Structure 1
C-alpha cells in the first residue's frame, strides 16, 4: 500500500493499492453505474462486465488500476496507461515520459468538502513519484466541466479537442513544474 500525500485539505491520508478485479468488483460496480459516473461510460454494466473489464486492465502491461483508500475504506479508483499503446493511439504524438490517467471518486451520501480535489492531487502526485514520468495526459469528455476545473486546479493545460470513438475529449497535459506551481506539492 502506498501512502499518498499532497491533500489540499485536512481530510487525512489517502493510500493506493493494486486493484483486485474480483474482490473489488462489487464496490466498483456500484461506483461506475451510479448516475454521477455517467462520464465513466459503464452505466449499464453488470457485475460480470465490471469484473471482466478490470481483469483485462490487470492483465494489460500498458494499463493499470489502483484502488484508493481513505481512512482504510475504498473511496476512489485510479487508472493509468501508456498513451503510446492505449486510449490515445493515433490521436496525438506522445512524448517520452507521458502517462495517461483517469480517476473516479466513489459516490457518497456524506460528501467531504475538498475531497475530490485531494484525490486528483494525490493521483497526480503518485504518478510523478516515478522519475520517468515527465507529463500526465488526460482526455475527459468536453462537456465534463467539473473535471476540467479540477484538472486546471492541479496544473493541467488544455491543448485541443480530439475525437475518440466513444466521445469528444479535451486533450490536456500537466508537467511536474505545472503541478508543483498549482498545488505546492513538490514532486
Structure 2
C-alpha cells in the first residue's frame, strides 16, 4: 500500500495512504461514532455501515478516502471528491480545478494544542500538490463553528449557506493563493 508524504510540521510528519475499507473499518467506526464526530453524521452507524459506506467510496472514481497518518500512526481521515459530480451537484457553479474535501481528526483523550490546525494544513497542502487543483470546496454544517474557524485559518472564504438533504451547509472556497497566503501569514 503506497503512502504519500504530506507536510512536515513542528508537531511531526503528516502523511496519507489510501483507505482500506475492510482493514480500516473498525478504526474508522470508533472515530465516526464518537460524540465529537457528530457533524460526520454517522453516530448510530454499525461496523457494517462504515464498511459499506467506505466500500462505496472506494468503488467511486469521483470520491476518494485517505487515511491520514501522524508520525506513521492513523490520526485522521480525509475525503476528496469531484464537487461537480458528487455532494454539490446543482448547488453551486463548479469551476475547472475544483476539489471537494472533508476531514475528520481521530478522537483523543490527550489533545495536542494546534494539532487539528496542523491536520487541515497538511490536508490542504496534499490537495494542492496536484497541479490540477485550483480551488478546494467545503460544505460544513452551518453549526460547526469550530471547523469554520479552522477553515478560515487556512484561507477559506465563505460564500453562502446552501441547503443539502442532510444539513444546511456553509459553502466555502479556498484557492491555492489564498491557502499560501494564510499559511505564510
TM-score (normalised: structure 1):
0.96
1:136 Cα shift?
0.1
**1:89-137 Cα shifts (integer Å, max 9, x gaps):** 0000100000000000000001111100000000011000010110000
For residue 108 of structure 2, what is the aligned residue in structure 1?
108
Cα displacement (A) at 1:5: 1.2
Distance 1:94 1:104, change over 3 A: same
**How many residues were matched structurally?**
183
SS in 2 for 1:169: strand
Name the structure 1 match of 2:6. Answer: 4
State how far apart, in whole Å, the 2-side matches of 1:104 and 1:2 are: 18
> What is the distance in 2 between the residues matched to 1:35 and 1:70?
22
Q: Is the CA contact (8 Å cut-off) linking 2:62 and 2:82 kept in structure 1?
A: yes
2-structure distance, mates of 1:111, 1:184? 25
CA offset at residue 6 of structure 1?
5.8
Q: TM-score, normalised by structure 2?
A: 0.97
| Aligned equivalent of 2:126 | 126
Q: Is contact 1:6–1:118 with CA below 8 Å preserved after alignment?
A: no
| Corresponding residue number in structure 1 for 2:56 | 56
User: What are the ranges of 5 or more consecutive residues in structure 1 without an aligned counterpart?
Assistant: none
State the match for 1:143 in structure 2. 143
Listed one character per residue, the Cα deviations across residues 141-184 of structure 1 (whole Å, up to 9, x for unaligned) are 00000000000000000000000000000000000000000002
Higher relative contact order (CA 8 A, sep 6+): 1
* Long gaps (5+) in structure 2: none
Return structure 1 stretches of 4+ with deviation > 3 angstroms. none
Contact 2:142 2:168 in 1 (8 A): yes
Structure 2 residue matching 1:5: 3-state secondary structure: strand
